[in-house]
Structure 1
Amino acid sequence: MKRVVVTGIGALTAIGNNVPEYLEGLKSGKSGAQPITQFDPEQFKTQFACEVTNWDPTDRLDKRAIRRLDRYIVMALYAADEALKMAGINNEAGERIFDLDPDRAGAIVASGIGGLGTLEKEIMDFADGSGTPRYNPFMIPKMIANMGAGHISMEHNLRGPSYATVSACASGGHALAAAADDIRLGRADLMITGGSEAVVTKVGIGGFNSMKALSTRNDDYKTASRPYDAERDGFVLGEGAGIIILESLDHALARGATILAEVAGYAASSDAYHISAPHPEGAGAKMAMINALKYAELKASDVDYINTHGTSTPLGDTAELKAIQLAFGEDVYDLNISSTKSMTGHLLGAAAAVESVACILAIQHNFVPPTINHFTDDPEIDPKLDLTFNKSVEKPVNVALSNTFGFGGHNSATIFKRYNP
């Protein structure tokens, strides 16, 4: 089977609107949490989120086209533009400079929920109006979760595999695995993959509040995302996009591309346990990590860094760490673990994509991003684990693993490694 490498990345997050800014945010331990600006949150238990701010999509995208797209689609297109430029497929003006075979290139881009903002607006406009069912003709194409991939394929003339994966918060990991498989099995030479999510809306905040999933630390929102802290009280909703350009090694070498990392292995599993709670012993998560290591033909001792799902929920954080300890044994004490959700918030279907970009940057720049906002040790967490609290660590990172788990018991584990010819 063909080797799969990374040649471009794009990021749009609450701690950076492009890859250099995202890298600096990760290194400095920046919190992206702020009071919600997209609607008045006064009536809600949670009044803050990790929003993308100071962002003008018309810097890269057509102003007229943006009006016909949901925010999550715009974010996907914006991050894809950066990734394609980094990969040397497009120039700084966004024009194609490499003669890519459109039948051998595709886009598999995840979204856990899709155009929730569009759906919310259309229903509320109808409810507040005369009752006449006059919906926007673009409502359905703006709302459905596959249109991030669809618009990327149309914008960049990609006629290969194009679709979305939807598996809650594991969606981005499954998208990356599917895209890598298309290359490994010879169905494509290049794939654009990743995820995008934009659900900082009344329905998004209200829905997660009703499940008691979100932090309600309104008086201290900057430190509300506290993975592994004894006083964690839920996750902080985030938004944004992460896009990764994957290529077969021979295709990348033939065009002289800069290789950022290699996709070493990946695996998926299911808890088969509960609609939203993780398996208490992390059974499914453990098998995803073990099988990803097998696929990659790596030992547990080869891994330098694990970017955890680490959402800052009481049950989820401890279950994942149990799974990691079961999967890695004594080798777990020789590696660094961290949750970058402490900075970006939880991007749901885009989480795996944005966190995979963090793993690639860790390999490129030899550092481990921190788990910020740690104040109180949790007595249920092994104190010998290196959870990289509060400050980033400079160290060689040759192999990094990204975990993402979703409602419904969906688990995804992806391993990146430093490219070695």
Structure 2
Amino acid sequence: MSTTHDWAAIRADFPLLTREVHGKPLVYLDSANTGQKPAKVIDTVDDFFRQHNANVSRAVHALGTEATEAYEASRTKLAGFLKAHRDELVLCSGTTFAINIVAYSWALPRLKAGDAILVSRMEHHANIVPWQLVAERTGAVIKVAEIREDGTLDLDALYAAMTPDVKLLALAHVSNVLGTVNPVKEICREARRRGITTVIDGSQAAPHRAVDVPSLGCDFYAITGHKMCGPTGTGALWARREHLAAMPPFLGGGEMIKEVRFAGTVFNDGPHRFEAGTPNIAGHIGLGAAVDYLSAIGMDAIEAREAELLAHANEELRKVDGLRILGEAPEKAAVISFLVAGAHAHDLATLLDLEGVAVRSGQHCAHPLLQFYGVPATCRASFAFYNTHDEIERFVAALRKVRHLLA
């Protein structure tokens, strides 16, 4: 695609965005939950099942070879997308699974009583609960790095919390609730100076900005495919080679072995030693198509487009009486969590849906964060490059209408 993008033409690549909901044109503002899929991704998955369906790494016949080549090509594409090497990339079902690999294959064998795991207040449950489970089994403790009212990390407090007992830091690159973009490169540098291993949740970053994983200086980086225009049940864990080589397998079964005898098993090299069983072949091939699609647009262009949409949405929402926005960090992704005085988030979202506007309501798998703000739930509008300024206007008009209904 050209450097001057025709965003209307790009939007037309997404079939679902043409439908109506409750008799009104759909305004989809829930991309932080799951991204919509361009026709290229849909067609790629369909073509696999129609023309190439076979298991990977199991057969030498033509279909098996085609499936394996397409699947491994997606690993190569995704590695390039992250500026990484393909032998550092474990394909899996998404960020939750990726973090659990680190929890059970890296942390569980290494941590002990007296050790600490440091997480931030803004983490998704997928970057809290696995560490709690590991702590329960090892005797380690969880330490929490707090945030400021504007949704930014308190870096002074974070660095002060990096005491010698901390062995692992788990941190979101971008908050799924607040949109806060954390300075992970700086944070990872400070952690590395203290000998702390870093696990970065990139689920909300990779779909919206260029990510050069090696330059971040982290030890592990997890992504989710369905948030970046790919199919559900796809994603990856990037890990430093030395970690993959030293970590025991997370699951046992086929593909992750070189040789099995009753006397013992020789495991495959990383990343394949962490890919037991039949993978989501069609899904990951579709994710490769999504990577091609995003790369053709350009992640810098996507980030700029979404920043423009975010600025417009912020400007318009501030005109709505009684509306409160949570999280106003200087650097934000295109996510706005908000409340309207006197209205419950679920009621707002339900009535917005009747106007054709899809936003998410609830605690967004981030209970500790909402406890910090003292609210039971929020509405969240999250934007992607395929959204339009007109949709923002319709969203705000619907919000005003709904607010009057609930007044």
TM range (shorter): under 0.3
Higher helix share: 2
Q: Which TM-score applies when normalising by structure 2?
A: 0.25
Name the TM-score, length of structure 1 as normaliser. 0.24
Larger gyration radius, structure 1 or structure 2: 2
